[in-house]
């Protein structure tokens, strides 16, 4: 009997992960036979667990907090966007047995912004809050769409400075702390801090959002996050959370593994409906 192709998401913690459900829905929709499970893998056990998984014939892994940098080091070869990000969320076994590392987070965000929500990027003044792994992941695909400029603001300003320097050959990047944003305006504000996970908000000056501007929180929750609520209070045209990005980054990983692109909108709609009546515009 032929073996079923095995996939998994590793992370710590992982019990909240929606990835098994999303990939299960993609597999059903595209008539692919595969198995996708979530495994709690702490950082110090990543290498041995990934080794065992691939040695047993595993086809692909997703890696989430706190494993993305370790996955970047683990990969035998990297896509350009993963090389630049220094973070990998998708590992794929290649026909020659080597393990390819990719980062589909940024493409997931860009697809959710541009295709699902008609938010343009070209010429935009963009503010990214936070300078962690997620910011590194989203920068290369955003920069491909030629924004006017991107400001990265972080609680620890030195980290924003490092990222602005590292990516400076790809576009106009400015680093800042939060108070330094006073008096400036942006067409799109992206929250890539993990503050939302504890329902907190970075200390943001007034009037940051330009008329007709939009807000996007990479974090997602059953209720509107503190940042999504802030965006609505600031009069944002759209103030969205990261559920769409989550589904879109999964679709990119699925495409890398299976060579077939699932339709994302029915999956986003289903998961959005499952979190109950939401005041988040979608
Ligand atoms: P990291 O831990 O790498 O970085 C966290 C960032 O948040 C740092 O810049 C940190 O600042 C900042 N931060 C944390 N707490 C606060 C606070 N209270 N006030 C201000 N800044 C704060 O996390 P990631 O970059 O990996 O993830 C960031 C967010 O993106 C998470 O919410 C994650 O869930 C989400 N995400 C969503 C995805 C999706 O598919 N929707 C995909 C990937 C990530 P400092 O440097 O000063 O510590």
Q: Determine whether the shortest distance from the Cβ of 34 to ligand 1 is under 6 A.
A: no
User: Measured over all CA atoms, what is the biggest interatomic distance in the chain, rounded to whole angstroms?
Assistant: 66
d(CA 25, CA 206) in angstroms, rounded, equals 42
**Nearest atom in ligand 1 to 248's CA:** 40
Given the structure tokens 């999956």, which residue do they identify? 267
Mean pLDDT of the chain, nearest integer: 95
Catalytic residue check, 172? no
Question: In order of start, what are the domains of the chain with their CATH numbers?
Answer: 5-103+246-274 (3.40.50.10860), 106-241 (3.40.50.720)
In what side-by-side order are the strands of the sheet with 60-63?
34-40, 5-11, 60-63, 90-93, 99-102, 77-78
- Compute CA distances 6 → 58, 92, 264, whole Å: 5, 11, 22
Gap between the Cα atoms of 83 and 103, Å rounded: 9
Tell me what pLDDT residue 196 has: 87
For ligand 1, pick from 67, 193, 275 the residue to mutate: most ligand atoms within 8 Å of CB. Answer: 193
Neighbours of 100 (CB within 10 A): 18
CA atoms within 13 A on the CB side of 34: 27
Residue 3: predicted pLDDT: 86
Q: Residue whose CA is closest, atom 42 of ligand 1? A: 105
CA of 194 to the centre of ligand 1 (A): 3
Taking the C-alpha atoms of residue 248 and residue 22, their distance in angstroms, rounded to an integer, is 10
**Cα 26 from Cα 38, distance rounded (Å):** 16
> Looking at residue 1, what is its pLDDT?
60
Could you report the per-residue pLDDT of 61-70, keeping only the tens digit for each? 999 999 999 9
- pTM > 0.75: yes
Positions of the chain with pLDDT lower than 70, given as ranges = 1-2, 276-282
Tell me if 105 CB under 6 Å of ligand 1. Answer: yes
Catalytic residue among 18, 28, 59, 68: 68
């Amino acid at each position: 009997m032929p073996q079923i192709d095995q996939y998994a998401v590793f992370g710590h913690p992982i019990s909240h992960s929606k990835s098994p459900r999303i990939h299960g829905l993609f597999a059903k929709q595209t008539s692919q036979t595969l198995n996708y499970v979530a495994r709690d893998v702490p950082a110090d056990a990543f290498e041995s667990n990934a080794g065992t998984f691939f040695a047993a014939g595993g086809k692909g892994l997703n890696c989430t907090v706190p494993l993305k940098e370790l996955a970047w080091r683990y990969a035998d070869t990297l896509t350009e966007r993963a090389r630049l990000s220094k973070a990998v969320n998708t590992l794929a076994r290649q026909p020659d047995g080597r393990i390819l590392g990719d980062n589909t987070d940024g493409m997931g965000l860009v697809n959710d912004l541009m295709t699902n929500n008609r938010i343009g990027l070209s010429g935009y003044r963009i503010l990214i809050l936070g300078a962690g792994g997620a910011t590194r992941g989203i920068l290369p695909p955003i920069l491909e769409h030629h924004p006017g400029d991107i400001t990265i603001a972080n609680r620890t300003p030195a980290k924003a400075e490092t990222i602005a320097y590292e990516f400076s050959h790809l576009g106009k990047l400015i680093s800042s702390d939060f108070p330094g944003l006073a008096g400036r305006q942006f067409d799109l504000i992206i929250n890539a801090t993990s503050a939302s996970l504890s329902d907190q908000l970075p200390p943001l000056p007034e009037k940051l959002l330009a008329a007709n501007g939009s807000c996007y929180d990479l974090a997602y929750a059953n209720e509107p996050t503190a940042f999504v609520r802030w965006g609505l209070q600031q009069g944002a045209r759209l103030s969205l959370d990261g559920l769409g990005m989550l589904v879109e980054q999964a679709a990119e990983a699925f495409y890398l593994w299976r060579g077939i692109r699932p339709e994302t909108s029915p999956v986003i709609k289903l998961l959005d409906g499952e979190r109950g009546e939401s005041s988040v515009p979608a």
